[in-house]
C-alpha cells in the first residue's frame, strides 16, 4: 500500500470535487446558451412552418440577421446574473446594474449589440436606470406582464444556492425576489419557483425522477398561493402524455415552462430535448433556453454536441465565467 500524505489526498479529492462542480455549472449555463442560439434564427416562426422545415442544426441569420452561434437576451441576462453572483453573494442592485449595462451599453452580448429585449424587462430596467425604484420593486406587477423573462434567467441563482447549500426557505425567497427585478406578479414568481425546484433536484441527482420530485415539492410549497392554479397541468401525473398540439410555446410564462418541461420529459438526450423545443415554434429561443438549462443539468455538459458549442460566440468568455463562479462559491 502506498503511503499518501493526508494533505495531498485532500488536495486531490478537492480538485475532483471542483471539476465536477464546474461541469455542472457549464452543463446548465452552456445548455441554456446553446439552446437559445438554436432558437434565435427561427424566433416567432409558426409551428406548421417548422414542421415543413424543422431546425436540425445550428444556423445563422433568419429572424435577427445574426451569424450562427449568436445568443440573445435570455443568455445575456443570465450571464449578467452569473457575473454578479461571481462576487460570492446575492446583491440585487448589482444584478440590476449589470442588466442596465447590457441594455444600455451592449455588455454581455455576442457582438456588442442588443438585438432583442422583452417589453417587461425593458420597463423594469428603465425603472431602475431612472432611479425610480429599488431593484426588487422594479418589476411590473400587472397580470398581463407574465412573460417568461424572469424564468429564463433564474438558473444562475439556483446554481449559486446549490453550491452554497442554502436552506430551501432561503433560496425560494431569493428566487421570488429575483423574479421581482423584472416580473413581480405572483404567477411569474411561482413559475420561477417551480423551475427552480426542478433544477435544484436535478443538480442534486441527475435523473428523470428529480423532475417529478421537484414538481411535487413545488406543488406542495405553493399550495396556498392563489396563482398556482395556472400551473395545474404540470402537477397532473399525466402531463408528459399530453399531445404536442396541446402544448403551447408562446412567451407567456405558463406556456413556456410547460413546453420546456414537456420537451424534457419526452426526450432521451440534450439534443432531442432542445430541438424539440425549438421546433414547437413561437418563442423558440426562450422555450429552448429554459429546456436547455434543465437538459444540461440532466444529461451533463458532455452531452451538449461539440459542433454546436464550437460555434457559440464568446464561448471561452462564457466558460471562463463558469469556472470563476465555481471558484467563488465553493
Ligand atoms: Mg431571446
Over residues 201-232, the pLDDT tens digits come to: 999 999 999 999 999 999 999 999 999 999 99
Question: b vs e for 284-307, b when ≥16 Cβ sit within 10 Å of the residue's Cβ?
Answer: bbbbbbbbbbbbbbbbbbeebeee
Confidence of residue 8 (pLDDT cuts 50, 70, 90): very low
pTM: 0.95
Distance from Cα 73 to the centre of ligand 1, integer Å: 5
Distance from Cα 283 to the centre of ligand 1, integer Å: 8
Q: Is the pLDDT of residue 324 over 60?
A: yes
**Could you identify the residue written with the cell 494533505?**
7
Distance from Cα 66 to the centre of ligand 1, integer Å: 12
Distance from Cα 320 to the centre of ligand 1, integer Å: 22
* Angstrom distance (rounded) from CA 298 to CA 179: 24
Distance from Cα 42 to the centre of ligand 1, integer Å: 11
Q: What are phi and psi of 10, to 5 degrees?
A: -65, -40
Confidence of residue 77 (pLDDT cuts 50, 70, 90): very high
Q: Is the pLDDT of residue 287 over 90?
A: yes
Distance from Cα 223 to the centre of ligand 1, integer Å: 31
Q: To the nearest whole number, what is the mean pLDDT of the chain?
A: 95
Confidence of residue 6 (pLDDT cuts 50, 70, 90): very low
Sequence-distant (≥ 6) Cβ neighbours of residue 291 within 8 angstroms: 35, 259, 260, 261, 263, 264, 273, 274, 276, 277
* Domains of the chain by start residue, with CATH: 27-329 (1.10.4080.10)
Distance from Cα 279 to the centre of ligand 1, integer Å: 15
Distance from Cα 197 to the centre of ligand 1, integer Å: 23
Q: Which of 186, 115, 106 is nearest to 145 (CA)?
A: 186
pLDDT score of 13: 64
Q: Is 14 exposed, middle or buried (0-12, 13-18, 19+ CB in 10 A)?
A: exposed
Q: Is the pLDDT of residue 192 over 90?
A: yes
Q: Is 229 exposed, middle or buried (0-12, 13-18, 19+ CB in 10 A)?
A: exposed
pLDDT score of 7: 45
More confident residue, 100 or 2: 100
Distance from Cα 153 to the centre of ligand 1, integer Å: 11
Q: What percentage of the chain has pLDDT greater than the value 70? A: 96
Specify the range with the lowest mean pLDDT, choosing from 6-10, 107-111, 136-140, 151-155: 6-10
Query: How many helices (H) does the chain have, and how many strands (E)?
Result: 15, 0
Distance from Cα 302 to the centre of ligand 1, integer Å: 24
Distance from Cα 110 to the centre of ligand 1, integer Å: 12
Distance from Cα 80 to the centre of ligand 1, integer Å: 14
Distance from Cα 309 to the centre of ligand 1, integer Å: 18
Distance from Cα 119 to the centre of ligand 1, integer Å: 12
Confidence of residue 12 (pLDDT cuts 50, 70, 90): low
**221 sits in which H/E element:** helix 208-221
**Could you identify the residue written with the cell 455588455?**
107
Over residues 105-132, the pLDDT tens digits come to: 999 999 999 998 999 999 999 999 988 7
* Angstrom distance (rounded) from CA 68 to CA 163: 32
> Please, are residues 201 and 211 in contact by the beta-carbon 8 Å criterion?
yes
* Angstrom distance (rounded) from CA 134 to CA 298: 36
Distance from Cα 326 to the centre of ligand 1, integer Å: 26
Distance from Cα 152 to the centre of ligand 1, integer Å: 9
* Angstrom distance (rounded) from CA 192 to CA 156: 12
Amino acid at each position: 500500500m502506498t503511503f499518501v500524505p493526508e494533505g495531498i489526498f485532500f488536495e486531490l479529492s478537492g480538485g475532483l470535487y471542483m471539476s465536477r462542480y464546474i461541469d455542472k455549472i457549464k452543463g446548465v449555463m452552456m445548455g441554456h446558451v446553446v439552446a437559445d442560439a438554436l432558437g434565435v434564427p427561427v424566433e416567432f416562426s409558426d409551428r406548421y412552418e417548422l414542421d415543413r422545415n424543422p431546425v436540425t442544426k445550428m444556423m445563422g441569420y433568419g429572424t435577427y440577421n445574426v451569424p450562427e452561434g449568436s445568443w440573445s437576451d435570455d443568455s445575456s441576462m443570465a450571464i449578467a446574473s452569473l457575473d454578479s453572483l461571481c462576487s460570492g453573494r446575492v446583491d440585487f442592485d448589482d444584478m440590476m446594474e449589470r442588466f442596465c449595462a447590457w441594455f444600455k451599453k451592449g455588455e454581455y452580448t455576442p457582438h456588442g449589440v442588443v438585438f432583442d429585449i422583452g417589453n417587461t424587462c425593458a420597463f423594469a430596467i428603465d425603472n431602475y436606470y431612472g432611479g425610480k425604484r429599488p431593484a426588487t420593486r422594479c418589476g411590473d406587477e400587472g397580470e398581463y406582464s407574465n412573460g417568461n423573462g424572469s424564468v429564463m434567467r433564474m438558473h444562475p441563482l439556483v446554481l449559486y444556492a446549490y453550491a452554497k447549500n442554502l436552506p430551501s426557505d432561503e433560496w425560494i425567497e431569493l428566487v421570488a425576489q429575483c423574479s421581482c427585478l423584472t416580473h413581480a406578479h405572483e404567477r411569474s414568481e411561482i413559475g420561477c419557483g417551480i423551475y427552480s425546484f426542478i433544477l435544484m433536484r436535478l443538480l442534486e441527482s441527475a435523473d428523470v425522477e428529480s423532475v417529478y420530485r421537484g414538481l411535487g415539492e413545488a406543488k406542495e410549497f405553493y399550495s396556498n398561493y392563489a396563482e398556482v392554479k395556472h400551473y395545474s397541468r404540470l402537477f397532473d401525473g399525466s402531463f408528459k402524455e399530453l399531445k404536442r398540439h396541446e402544448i403551447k410555446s408562446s412567451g407567456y410564462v405558463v406556456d413556456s415552462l410547460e413546453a420546456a418541461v414537456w420537451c424534457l420529459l419526452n426526450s432521451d438526450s440534450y439534443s432531442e430535448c432542445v430541438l424539440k423545443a425549438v421546433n414547437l415554434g413561437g418563442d423558440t429561443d426562450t422555450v429552448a433556453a429554459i429546456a436547455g438549462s434543465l437538459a444540461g443539468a440532466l444529461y451533463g455538459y458532455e452531452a451538449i454536441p461539440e459542433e454546436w458549442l464550437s460555434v457559440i460566440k464568446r464561448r471561452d468568455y462564457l466558460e471562463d465565467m463558469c469556472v470563476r463562479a465555481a471558484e467563488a462559491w465553493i
